[in-house]
């Protein structure tokens, strides 16, 4: 619980409540302490991966081992009318101080990258453990599946994710650090919310046939 200056002043006996100089002095004395107390009370939330913003999120990323600075600027992801893949819910808004490219991950995307890095740091390399870890992070109906291609490469399916043009560019440049050492990510299989992957002779929550399945977006990391 955070205490305010008024709280401490209210503890003064009635005999001194009407002494303005004393009350002002007391307020000046306890105000720095209330600020420190407030910072301590909010310390955990400020550096929680789900609520941290700005430099606090930078500190979380540094702690887990991933930076928000992009090695290669990302271009062609800003919202645009009449441009395929950059319309509503696909392109991102270009700010007044943005150039023609993005070199820094915004908080919402950096937060996802950090979560994947945290999972990678604790992963034992097995597919069942990966599924269990994903289920603890993504609770909004999204889920992930992994295909072992039996050639030291893997394919990762992201089902129910609306990644947009920016998310696709981030995946293409290989900024999602989730794979065993020595294994390559061959491709990402992206299925938007509410859709299934088209497949013959297979029908479940992930796959469907004609009029039910969807040809997914395939992203090959560079």
- Full pLDDT tens readout for the chain, 222 residues: 668 888 888 889 888 888 999 999 999 999 999 988 888 888 888 899 989 999 999 999 999 999 988 877 777 667 677 666 666 666 666 777 677 777 788 888 888 889 888 888 888 888 898 888 888 777 777 788 899 999 999 999 888 877 777 788 888 888 776 788 888 999 999 888 877 888 888 887 778 888 888 788 898 987
**Residue 206: DSSP 8-state:** S
Contact 71, 105 (CB under 8 A): no
Kindly provide the residue ranges of all beta strands, DSSP E only, lying in the chain, ordered along the sequence. Answer: 69-75, 101-104, 143-148, 153-159, 184-191, 196-198, 207-208, 213-214, 217-219
């Amino acid at each position: 619980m955070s205490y305010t200056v008024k709280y401490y002043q209210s503890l003064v006996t009635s005999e001194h409540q009407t002494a303005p100089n004393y009350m002002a002095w007391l307020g000046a004395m306890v105000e720095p302490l209330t600020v420190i107390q407030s910072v301590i009370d909010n310390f955990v939330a400020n550096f929680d991966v789900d609520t941290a913003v700005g430099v606090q999120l930078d500190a979380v990323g540094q702690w887990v081992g991933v930076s928000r600075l992009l090695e290669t600027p990302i271009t062609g992801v800003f919202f645009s009318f009449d441009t395929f893949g950059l319309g509503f819910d696909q392109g991102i808004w270009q700010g007044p101080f943005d150039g023609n490219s993005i070199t820094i991950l915004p908080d919402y995307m950096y937060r996802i990258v950090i979560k994947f890095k945290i999972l990678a740091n604790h992963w034992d390399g097995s597919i069942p453990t990966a599924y269990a870890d994903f289920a603890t992070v993504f609770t909004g109906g999204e889920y992930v599946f992994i295909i072992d291609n039996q050639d030291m490469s893997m394919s990762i399916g992201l089902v129910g994710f609306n990644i947009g043009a920016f998310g696709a560019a981030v995946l293409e440049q290989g900024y999602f650090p989730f794979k065993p050492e020595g294994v390559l990510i061959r491709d990402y299989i992206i299925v938007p919310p509410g859709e299934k992957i088209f497949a013959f002779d297979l029908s479940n929550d992930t796959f469907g046939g004609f009029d039910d399945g969807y040809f997914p977006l395939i992203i090959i990391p560079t």
